[in-house]
Structure 1
Amino acid sequence: MEKRRDVFQAISDPTRREIIQLVSHQPLNLNSIAGHFDSSRPTISQHIKILTECGLIIIKKQGRERYCEAKLEQLAEVSTWVEQYRKYWNETIDAMEIYINDLQSKKTKNDKQK
């Protein structure tokens, strides 16, 4: 059974995030990418495989070389997911701030009446 991979799995690993960062500036061949890490070439190749399965990187052949190129459109899924929680927490914090201000106003009003 083939394992389903998604963009969240891809970005969960710091090495894969760094690979995305590297190729987001310019396409790089596998040796150039591997040269940025202390990990073995097969380990980096496995990370790149996961990134391609998730659609964040495509591999293009140029002569004998294979270049990794970023396809960051898939990150919109992450952005959408994060945005819903950002909105929720902003609304919750705003409501809490209103509540605290209301409590402080009532306390100040009560203190003045004493």
Structure 2
Amino acid sequence: MKKTPAPTPPKAPLGAADAKRRKAGLLKKAARLGATVVAARVAADTGKKGVIGLIAGAGAKRLIMRYPVGAMVVTGAYLAGKLYEAKREADRKMATKLLTDASARPILIDEARAARKKAG
């Protein structure tokens, strides 16, 4: 006696459930991409090369992918740190901006040419 294979359920046409599942897949892919980018930046900004940076990046990616609140915290902290560094750099540039020496009287071109003719 031969065994007959179990009947397979018929494929349903694309409906709302399939579209929702597809959107969730795109959202998950976008989240993975974002998590990878942030994790790579965190790993690079730790200042440590090699294993410690890799562990920091992997931990950040896991936290982002696993917990939505963790994603907001890690990403927010990373962006806040970047803004703080940019502000510090801008303040440093403003403080070191060279000031012109206003104590000397400017020399006009005609006076300089006349002085050169006299000397030479």
TM-score range for the pair, normalised by the shorter chain length: 0.3 to 0.5
The structure number with the bigger radius of gyration is 2
Q: Could you say which structure has the greater relative contact order, defined with CA pairs below 8 angstroms and 6 or more residues apart? A: 1
Question: Normalized against structure 2, the TM-score is what?
Answer: 0.34
